[in-house]
Amino acid sequence: MKGRKPIGIIRVVTLAALLLTAGCSMVGVKHITLKEYANQRRSDVLNTRTLSDSTVQTLNVIALSRDDCAANFPRCTNTLLYSDGLDDERRLSALSELWLAYALQQTDQNKTVDDQALNDYLQSARYAYAYLFYTARDPGERAFETRQSQVLDFYNYAVSQAVNSFFQRLPELGTDWSRKQVAGWSLLRPNTDVYLGSSNYVPTELIPSAGLRFSGLRNIYQRDGFGSEFVAVGSAPADTGQPWRESNYVPLTAVLEFPGDDLASVLRTDEVRLYAKNPYLDSTIQLDGQTIPLAANFTAPYGVWLARSGFAKQSIRSLLGRGGLSKPEVLLMQPYDPNRLTVIMLHGLASSPEAWINVVNEVMGDEQLRRTYQVWEVYYPTNVPVAVNLRQIRQALDETLKHFDPSGKAVASNNIVLIGHSMGGVIARLLVSSSDDKLWSVIPARPGLSDADKLRLRERLAPYLQFSPMPQVTRAVFLAAPHRGTPVARWKLARWIGGLIRLPLTLLEEGKNITDAMQGKSATPGTPAQLPNSIDNLSDTDPFIKASSTLPISPQVRYHTIVGVYKSKGPLSDSDDGVVPYTSSHLDGADSELAVPSWHDVQETPQAIIELRRILRVHAAALHCLQPESGAQIPCAHP
């Protein structure tokens, strides 16, 4: 008996412990940091490659684990699809993430989206689509729920991968069909309104915007919503000799629809329809009787276009006359839209459309301005005289407007805003000025010319010395523009650079013809007159710049100035921007003038961009055509 005593004691103690355990809580508390909390809430298969906590908890309800699903994926998804104890939202959201995880695994292994991976992405997108539109609550009722944001990300990423795969298969799919079998799915003919210029609706390249990062751009302007964002690249425009070029880099938002009348039919369908939407035209899409906001990335196409343009090298070659650009081009930043007001931008000396990198992006990043305006950039050779560029740019703009709107009655053809920087500002001012006969004084008198010789000389020079304002322009903004020239153009370095500039052969031949006309038909031909180049024209002693600075601006044009103040010697009137004196950039009669602490590149400063946004809002409001946030198009009217 004595030997059994310890055993009895042990049993009593064990029994007491079991009883105590049964009556006590086994729940513990652990404090976590805010960072750990945020990571746990946001962790999912897209950002950590592990299943989200919501999906893991859903699997726990039906006695499954991540390892179970990894070991037997078909059994896992079937159990999840048909088990009791789960509502549709938990079931469908977990299925979407599981299929996406499986697709990512397939893609990682094969380094490409094959039929199996494509099917997996489409399954993920379908379950996400069913969760969003075919459960008891609509998306608006879950607007503040993290889970819906996660599922939307699952959908958008799966759509991105699937649509990119469809595009890669485009050569075998062709374009003339209504239904094609792809990876076990019936792909219905895509619905698209994405126009790539030159009557082209089929991209040659499709770039997912989510994978792009840009240097040189201060901000990326996006619109949150439904669908996956792409940059659609069209074929390079053919060189037809026309001065305009529509953008072939445009935003595209892709949406996949899974047809069905109810949840069961959506989950049974093997059909999928692709919508390729132009976010400049479409801010929403109708799905399941609901109006859904569309996602968009407006910066990405602009950034890709600039990155591939080669403007930096071209602008220097163009200035020196060593190839590159030979005549002005009108570059449309988006395909022509007759219902949007037009902003035309002109860069300065030795520059290019890169001068407007952040200006265009920041201005068009404003939702209301983007709905109201379209931007054209004039790209022109900056080596030739101002008068020659003025004539050629005016011709290019006239031809462009006539091509896109022969009647001249579209919103895009009226109440145009001109914005010019530096030498582009001088040209912009002359585009809205009247010369009458005030510029003939720049031509030295030649005694002994007959009346016929004088008439012939006048005919030669009239295209450069006689002009009238563009009637389509009703507002202009001049940034750091040397309207009265600059003494910097007389500096030794500027003269040295000017000596390196070559003028086009056609211009030299025209100069010789003008010289002969100045000397008279019967005179012995002499040495051709020295033609001024662009740097000559920007000197404060140049006869043309001095004479043209006195020309009156059209009374129908409201104008504004933005000046840089880099060196201040006291009063604003004694300041300059390091290149242009204030006295040269100032214009009497301007509706507004803003002085910005800045070097000559004032157009890139945040203050100047904010002012440009303000001016464009004032202009649109005066015309009663500032488009509302709703996107409803309203007609513009004269104030």
Q: For residue 158, which amino acid is it? A: A
Confidence of residue 443 (pLDDT cuts 50, 70, 90): confident
**Predicted local confidence at residue 512, as pLDDT:** 45
Angle at 421 between CA 417 and CA 426, to 5 degrees: 85
**DSSP calls for 245-292:** E--SEEEEEEEEE---SSHHHHHH--EEEEEEE-TTT-SEEEETTEEE
Instruction: Enumerate residues 6+ apart whose C-beta is below 8 A from 292.
Output: 139, 225, 226, 284, 285, 286
CA distance 91 to 73: 15
What mean pLDDT is reported for the chain? 84
pLDDT given for residue 271 in this prediction = 96
Q: What pLDDT is recorded for position 207?
A: 95
Residue pair 309/201 in contact by the 8 Å Cβ criterion: no
As a whole number of angstroms, the distance between CA 175 and CA 178 comes to 9
pLDDT at 437: 86
Q: Give me the phi and psi of 509, to 5 degrees please.
A: -65, -40
Q: Which amino acid is at 139?
A: P
Q: Which of 144, 125, 139, 153 is nearest to 289 (CA)?
A: 139
Q: Quick one: average pLDDT of 266-294?
A: 93
Considering only residues 532 and 598, tell me which one the structure prediction assigns the higher pLDDT.
598
What's 318-443+458-501+536-622's CATH class? alpha beta
Give the residue extent of every domain in the chain: 38-162, 173-300, 318-443+458-501+536-622
> Where does the pLDDT of residue 624 fall: very low under 50, low under 70, confident under 90, or very high at 90 and above?
confident
What's the mean pLDDT in 188-214?
86
| pLDDT at 460 > cutoff 50 | yes
Got the DSSP string for 35-80? Answer: HHHHHHHH--TTTTSS--HHHHHHHHHTT--HHHHHH-HHHHHHHH
* Pair of tokens at residue 376: 């054209």
Local confidence band at 215 (pLDDT 50, 70, 90 cut-offs) = confident
Runs of H (alpha helix) within 563-635:
582-585, 606-622
Decide if pLDDT at 299 tops 60.
Answer: yes
Counting residues of the chain whose pLDDT is more than 90, the rounded percentage is 55
d(CA 317, CA 382): 10
Beta bridge partners, 289, equal none
Q: Which alpha helices (H) appear in 83-145, and where do they start and end?
A: 88-110, 115-133
Assign 363 a pLDDT band (cuts: 50, 70, 90).
confident
Does the pLDDT value for residue 234 go beyond 70?
Answer: yes
Query: Length of the chain in residues, anyone?
Result: 639
Q: Which residue has the tokens 């940034």?
A: 479
